[in-house]
Chains A and B, each alone.
Chain A
Amino acid sequence: MTKKKIQIIVCGGTGCSDKNSNAVAESLTIEIEANALENDVKVVRSGCFGLCNLGPVVRVMPDDVVYIGVKPSDAQEIIDEHIMKGRVVERLLFTDALTGKKLRSAQEMSGYRKQMRIVLRNCGIIDPENIEEAIAHDAYEALARVLTTMTPDEVIKIVKDSGLRGRGGGGFPTGLKWEIARKNKADEKYVVCNADEGDPGAFMDRSVLEGDPHAVLEAMAICGYCIEASKGLIYIRAEYPLAVARLKTAIAQAKEYGLLGENIMNTGFSFDIEIRYGAGAFVCGEETALIHSMEGLRGEPTVKPPFPAEAGFRGKPTNVNNVETFACISPIILKGAEWFSSIGTEKSKGTKVFALAGKINNVGLIEVPMGTTLREVIFEIGGGIRNGKKFKAAQTGGPSGGCLTEKHLDTPIDFDNLVAAGSMMGSGGLIVMDEDDCMVSVAKFFLDFTVEESCGKCAPCRIGNKRLHELLEHITKGKGVPADLDRLRNMCLVIKDTSLCGLGQSSPNPVLSTLENFKDEYEAHVTAKKCPAGKCRDLMEYFIIAENCVGCTACARVCPVNAITGERKEPHVINPEICIKCGACKEKCKFDAIIIK
């Protein structure tokens, strides 16, 4: 038979699997066998198509026909009609709600995909250590256009009109920042790329630098042209050895090709980039601390103003932008401000990269248009909560942000909505928590981090966070009293109001937002002295239900401290005085006789 083999791809992503795509695959296989087609038609399973709300999704190749909402009972028709007679099963095609048109192929349906890659456009596509691959994918084309056909003011106007806001956390309008740096006159200015990425759980900047370093180099040069700087500095943590190595290679190659250095492309514009290393201190991501660290001083922040755009590196006007911010620049130049500002919400344009972590199935990086909802991110793109558990909260903005809960699931994610919800965008870390997570402990976890990372320069942050942490420790140990909750809140507000830099001004946020959203959980800790999630060891008691216990002795044998006693075939008991709450007995018990009280 010369006919090309037919392959039926059945989505095995979490969303489709939950809708029984397994049974669809089985029914298809049965039909194929019933028609003796097994040599010509094959069924394979794939990961998520990103069309979860339309699932189960089935794609027939090489015809590239996508069927949606396929039930096991549809298998016969697909095989009879499509495979045997070559007639597409219209009924199972996707109908575009606006035009009423039936869409057939994955290509036609691509507009319904939730993700959109602008920042990550070349990650995983090009060899980052080969500048030619980057050039083939349009690298330095925007720089060429800027240097030969545009004035700095025209470029700044495009960046302003695009609505791009800084991706490093604050969301400051990038074009405006460039304009300010341009207006401040000086004999030398600097362009700084902030690649410190200290937010635990975030790794998008690392991925961009590892996958597409030229995107950042090119944008820094464009920025240099706009603000009249001839020197760029990338501040990157030394813990990112691969990103550092690829950046070095990229810089060397760009210089070799004349795309960085003196008189770039014969335009008279010169721009050079060097790397500066950070030692992994969170506070050094704050722009003034970062600049001091680059100057060889202690990585401590100073009061703004003066802003870096006025007096930054070596006292000269300095424009600091985040890696992801820079990675948006070339597409904006090439495709225009209008294109970029057509993506996203009213005040937050373009896309945002999120690093999904925690109790979510598809841990990794995603890039979605601003305004995508938390529900789409977690349950469609992220594949939902691990092990079928219940969603409890998602932390955005890392240790400076707050948690979003069930009631925020349908809020479009953008800079302003997150702030209104008591959190913030931050750099894009998104840590998902399920029913087993204790929110008091989560707040304590982030405080652990800030206490460790506070530089100690100002008292509210150095001492206040320490006290805050102590109080949380107290509460999770069952030593808290109801009045502690008010003390917590007051202390948070004072620290926020009086700290010198963004670290202290935001470090109480995880406490405030969990206090706001999970008040009853805090109350349970301080009044009933119970941890509803069963996480705080000091508040748990393991207990054997006598009716369920058959006296198999398995628990007593596994207990490392011999806290369990009882005769064979008689109900056992746990001595709470000796028990260290390790949970080994509960895991071992086959009769569900051991519970946590």
Chain B
Amino acid sequence: MKKINSVEDLRKAKEKILAGMHGKGKGEKEKVLVRVHCGTSGLASGAKEILDFLTLELEKRNIDATVIRTGDMGYCYAEPTIEVTRPGESPVVFGYVDKIKADEIIEKFIKNGDFVDGIIPVNYRTID
């Protein structure tokens, strides 16, 4: 992307990014978005392995998904944690994710929308 030279540039860039984010608006089906929380506590509990596992397996299993790496949400006691957003639905956070749990999340939640144990409900207010 070119340099942002004015406030208008910033706002335009923002709109463009929002429109193109995570497969949105590309004329294709919206993608599943998976956030793997990779801050120090996540990584110390094995988040990198989960990130790699999900990236590889989602592709192998032909699921149209974007996997991104983020910081931690503060759920240190339940790391590794991941957040999954199915198209058009609210994000769901899962804790204590190992490879077995990750596999279950792909098969049950990502594919069919069935919840699995280990959900961490949204327990905070946001600012907007």
What residues of chain A have their CB less than 8 Å away from a CB belonging to chain B?
A: 5, 7, 9, 11-12, 42, 44-51, 59, 61, 106, 110-111, 113-118, 120-121, 123-130, 132-133, 135-136, 140-141, 144-145, 147-148, 203, 206-207, 210-212, 240, 242-243, 246, 256-259, 265-266, 331, 335, 361-367, 381, 383
Contacts and interface: CB of A to CB of B under 8 A. Distances in A.
Contacts of A7: 114-115
Contacts of B123: 48-51, 113-115, 381
Given A46-B118, A126-B70, 14 more contacts: A46-B117, A47-B118, A47-B119, A47-B121, A50-B121, A61-B115, A124-B70, A133-B21, A135-B14, A207-B40, A242-B43, A258-B5, A265-B9, A364-B75
Contact of B72 (A117, A121, A207): A207
Contact of A335 (B39, B40, B127): B127
Contacts, number: 182
Interface string B83-113: 1000000000001000000000000000011
B17 interface: yes
A45 B94 CA distance: 11
Interface of B: 1, 3-7, 9-11, 13-14, 17-18, 21, 35, 37, 39-41, 43, 68-78, 81, 83, 95, 112-127
**Centre residue among B78, B83, B120 by max chain A CB count within 10 A:** B120
A258 B4 contact: yes
A121 B114 contact: no
A114 B125 CA distance: 8
A106 B121 contact: yes
A265 B39 contact: no
A281 B114 CA distance: 49
A276 to B, nearest CB: 20
A201 to B, nearest CB: 12
A128 B71 contact: yes
Contacts of B122: 106, 110, 113
Contact of A211 (B18, B43, B70, B75): B70
Given A5-B113, A210-B71, A211-B70, A46 B124 contact: no
Contacts of B119: 9, 44-47
B52 to A, nearest CB: 16
A51 B3 CA distance: 46
Q: Which 9 A-B pairs have the closest CB atoms?
A: A211-B71, A50-B123, A365-B74, A124-B73, A115-B124, A364-B76, A46-B119, A258-B3, A47-B120
A291 B104 CA distance: 51
Contact of B74 (A123, A144, A148): A123
**Centre residue among B4, B14, B73, B125 by max chain A CB count within 10 A:** B125
B4 A111 contact: no
A361 B41 CA distance: 16
Given A5-B114, A42-B115, A47-B78, A127 B10 contact: no
A11 B121 contact: yes
Contacts of B117: 12, 44-46
B121 A49 contact: yes
A42 B115 CA distance: 9
A124 B71 contact: yes
Contacts of B37: 124
A485 B5 CA distance: 66
Contact of B3 (A147, A257, A361): A257
Contacts of A135: 10, 13-14, 17
Contact of A148 (B7, B39, B125): B7
